[in-house]
Amino acid sequence: MDHADRLKRLKFRAWHRGTKEADLLIGGFFDRFSAGWTAAETDWFERLLEIDDVLIMAWAIGTETPPADIDGPMMRRMQQLDYIPIAK
């Protein structure tokens, strides 16, 4: 599967998590940053999507520490939370 098709599949998975909060966090992160991802970064995101949303959200807001294989620059970027749209 080429990179563009892979990203299309990941986008769907990122935006169809089961709760609006998870969709905004994970889907919003995907929308903001995926265009510039390397193959390794895409691999990381694909692994992340296999993890329960509750854990991903806890890592992103800092109430839990992510495991070593998930922690790193991509998780730190996710933890900034500046990619989530806030309705006014």
**Domains, in order of start, for the chain:** 3-78 (1.10.150.250)
Mean per-residue pLDDT, 49-76: 97
Q: What percent of the chain has pLDDT over 70?
A: 98
Average pLDDT, the chain: 94
- What is the crossing angle of helices 39-48 and 3-15, to 10°? 30
pLDDT in tens, 6-34: 999 999 999 999 999 999 999 999 999 99
pLDDT of residue 88: 63
